[in-house]
Copies of this chain bind each other. A is one copy, B any other.
Amino acid sequence: VSFDDVTALQQRAAGLFTAEISPDWTIADKPNGGYLLAMLGRAAGLVGLHPDVIAASAHYLTTPEPGPVTIEVEVLRSGRSASQLRTSLQQDGRSCVQALLTTSRLDADSTAYWDRGVPAPGSLPMADCIRIPDRTPTGLSVAIMRQVDLRIEPGCLGFADGRPSGRGELYGWLALPDGANFDPCSLLYAIDAFPPATFEIEATGWVPTLELTGYVRALPAPGPVRILQRAQLIEARRVDEACFVWDVTGRLVAQASQLAGIKLG
């Protein structure tokens, strides 16, 4: 099933949509948070005057089940070059995700004016990276790994053998089903697609995202994307992670930070 299909929206009224969370885009039966944000991004692109999400900030209230949801979008401001919108995803009358988004129009011909250059730690081609299995070591189903092709470089796969490197970072590649090209909406999934970078520090259970902010900086070239997911600080049972996404040409196309809960610290 394509990413477009699992994020399809039916418009019910001005600023009101219904959608269906796919049971296939889940980890232990819970939908991925970036997948939910991509749905909100798609709705924002339809309601505002501008098609491309460039900034999205989501707060996760409660995890919806696979199945029908309602998405509401309110335009906060429509400018010449950008629209600003408030969105929410609800299920059975409960608000599950709230997000503020900015949309604009990204130009396929833009180039970086100045780039600090994040030291991309990996260098292997996708074919030399290891695909993540669709089941956790404890036997939970990671159904989403049967949909996307997510591969991690062998150098940061210590956690798979119970020997995390302690570096707290994961890097590798992500491709959508059938090798579909990424767009600003699916990049909102990409920024939350990787396993928690904390797996390379210490094994824990679920690391639920509390807040996720992503910036889409450019339209990606066709093909898979390279991702770096990096933990910064674990304290008081919370961790922040940074994420960088490059297209196959090595261009930085998305960046994100998230705060998540973790049973450490």
Contacts and interface: CB of A to CB of B under 8 A. Distances in A.
A124 interface: no
A112 to B, nearest CB: 5
B114 A95 contact: no
Given A57-B57, A61-B77, A259-B54, A114 B236 contact: no
A111 interface: yes
A146 interface: no
A211 B55 contact: yes
Interface bin, chain A: 35 or more
A233 B217 contact: yes
Contacts of A264: 113-114
Interface string A202-213: 100000001101
Contacts of A202: 114
A106 interface: yes
A168 B117 CA distance: 11
A8 interface: no
